[in-house]
Structures are given as C-alpha cells and as structure tokens.
Amino acid sequence: MQAAKREAFEELKLKFKSYRVLGPISKEQEKQIIIEHTFMIPLNDLSKLHFYEGKGIKKVTVSQARKLKMNPGDDRILDLIEKFLISNP
C-alpha cells in the first residue's frame, strides 16, 4: 500500500485514503518475472488530474490504450481494469 501511495503522489500529486485492489499480474519482462499489483483510486474530477512524470503520458480510454505499444502482459492489466469498470458503473 505504501508503494501505491508513493507512486500516485510522485506521478500525479494525488493523496488518497481509499483504493480497490484489482489483482496481481505476473509477467515476464526482460528475462525476469515481474508481478504488478493493479489498483484503482477514486477520482471525482478528471480536470484536476495532471501528470508530473512520464514523457508523453496522457489520458486515454481502455479501448485507446489497447492500441498503444505496451509492455508484454499489459493487456492483462487492461483486462482487469475493464472488468472492474464494467462491474462498477
């Protein structure tokens, strides 16, 4: 949880109290097994969402993200996000 809070603050300058774990994704990347924990945090106003890290980072839909060049296994993270969004309209 501390890593999630740190990353959200470093990249988006967001502080949050609640979050929802979507699940871990295990994938091979550069000859290593990587486990990424995917979580969602509540945002009430997207206009306040600004990016502070990441060259070329921008807001996209899940559908748009699927068309981007991604790391191997990132499609499974998008599957988790899409499943969450469908079951929590």
pLDDT value of position 54: 65
* Cβ neighbours of residue 89 closer than 8 Å, sequence gap 6 or more: none
For the chain of 89 residues, list the mean pLDDT of each consecutive stretch of 10: 78 79 84 85 76 72 88 86 88
The number of helices, as runs of H, and strands, as runs of E, in the chain is: 3, 2
pLDDT value of position 78: 92
Q: How many domains is the chain partitioned into structurally?
A: 1
Q: Are 82 and 75 in contact (CB under 8 A)?
A: no
Beta-bridge mates of residue 37 = 24
Burial class (CB in 10 A: 0-12, 13-18, 19+), 6: exposed
- Owning domain of residue 80: 2-87
Q: Is the pTM of this model over 0.85?
A: no
What tokens were used for 45? Answer: 């106003």
pLDDT value of position 36: 84
